[in-house]
Amino acid sequence: MSRLNLDDFSDLIERPDSGTRRDAEERRERLTVPPGALGRLDELGEWLSAAQGAVPVRPVERPRVVLFAGDHGVAELGVSGRPAGGAYALVRDVLDGASPVAVLARRTGVPVRVVDAGVDCDPELLPAEVVRHRVRRGSGRIDVEDALTAEEAEAAVRLGMAVADEEADSGTDLVVLGDLSVGGTTPAATLIAALCGTDASVVTGRGGAGIDDLAWMRKCAAVRDALRRARPVLGDQLELLAAVGGADLAATTGFLLQSAVRRMPVVLDGVVSAACALVAQRAAFRAPDWWLAGHVSGEPAQSKALDRMALNPLLDHGVTVGEGTGALLALPLVRAAAAFAADLPERKAPEETPPED
């Protein structure tokens, strides 16, 4: 198997169809509802038309939540509000329908897929369809060691690519993307700080589970030390993911890139998916045209990454729980935009007055 070069995605990814978008904009001008009256939903409908290559836009009928799961060794430092090695509990809650994203998905009829990329538990504890893609058990402590070997990083990216192909082939027409990780916001902040050229304190937040001031200082120190290890490998995205990413982050990056290749729109959730998106943008500059930012997660690193990619979040409700919940909350807006663009009638042309004899 030849070594994967993420830069090759730059030639594989095309932008959504600009001609279709112009047609969608012209159709919008002809609708009975005045232009601008629907606010950002007009823009969303036109974006969907371009992504689908269809005017009028088709409804979003087969969305799916995809969650990549993994544990991070850096959680051993007490940088997370959850115990190190606790991703298994997060996965179990989703599978048992006891997490916010599971409750919301059940109520809205959206299926949820969990992919174990690097959970630190015995594989027998999880269903085979969840654990079958696992790259390794947990990821390394990025402040002092690589998260993954080079081979593991490539395997994780290829895993994400394979999942994207499976979803596209099954007819999924939009993905709500999230993570189930413990310690994952620390490598995410590190990746964003490295790619944006900022210091640890600028990007370090308190995570979805919330941490106190002492834990926040430990997290800042971990990001600072990891940044020293990240900067020498900034020229190679795969090496960067191996050094300071993790199996779930590398898989998410591969998923985002291959989803763009397959022209499958993605709604990003929080800081972890934003960090992976930023890595993917570094490899393929057109890729962000296929993504929406679902919501503001409250993490400073997420805001930094979304600004760099020029992605404007759809919602700001103070939801910090992660796990794809905030992005799934944005799905009704996307569906509403598609419905308005497709179903609102066009203005009737004025009847011509017959000429006088």
Q: Is a pLDDT exceeding 70 seen at residue 73? A: yes
Q: Are 141 and 73 in contact (CB under 8 A)?
A: yes
Q: Which of 1-10, 103-112, 272-281 shows the lowest mean pLDDT across its residues?
A: 1-10
Question: What CATH number should be reported for the domain whose range is 63-333?
Answer: 3.40.50.10210
CB of 311 closer than 8 Å to CB of 88: no
Concatenated DSSP letters for 46-88?
Answer: HHHHHHHT-SSPPP---EEEEEEEEEBGGGGGS-SSS-TTTHH
Is 78 buried (19+), middle (13-18) or exposed (0-12) by CB count in 10 A? middle
Rounded CA separation 1/7 (Å): 17
Q: In what order do the strands lie in the sheet with 63-71?
A: 112-118, 63-71, 174-182, 266-268, 291-293
Model pLDDT for residues 275-293, shown as the tens digit of each residue = 999 999 999 999 999 999 9
Name the amino acid, one letter, at 315: L
Paired with 71 in beta bridges are: 182
- In a 10 Å sphere around its CB, with 0-12 CB exposed, 13-18 middle and 19+ buried, how is residue 349 labelled? exposed
Residue 43's Cβ-count burial label (10 Å; 0-12, 13-18, 19+) is: middle
Q: What's the CA gap between 134 and 121, in Å, rounded?
A: 11
- CA dist 103 → 94, 115, 206, 293 (Å): 9, 18, 24, 21
Which pLDDT belongs to residue 1? 47
- SS3 labels along 302-316: HHHHHHHHCCCCCEC
In DSSP notation, 176-206 reads EEEEEEESTHHHHHHHHHHHHT--HHHH---
The model's pLDDT over 43-60, given as tens digits with 9 standing for 90+, comes to 999 999 999 999 999 999
Q: Give the burial class of 105: count Cβ atoms within 10 A of its Cβ; 0-12 exposed, 13-18 middle, 19 or more buried.
A: buried
Q: What is the pLDDT of residue 206?
A: 85
pTM score, two decimals?
Answer: 0.95
Q: Where are the domains of the chain?
A: 63-333
**Which positions are annotated as active-site residues?**
323
Q: How confident is the model at residue 329 (pLDDT cuts 50, 70, 90)?
A: very high
Predicted confidence at residue 355, as pLDDT, reads: 64
pLDDT of residue 352: 57
- Tens of pLDDT, residue by residue over 178-211, are 999 999 999 999 999 999 999 999 999 887 667 8
User: In the predicted model, what is the mean pLDDT of the chain?
Assistant: 94
CA 307 to chain centre: 15
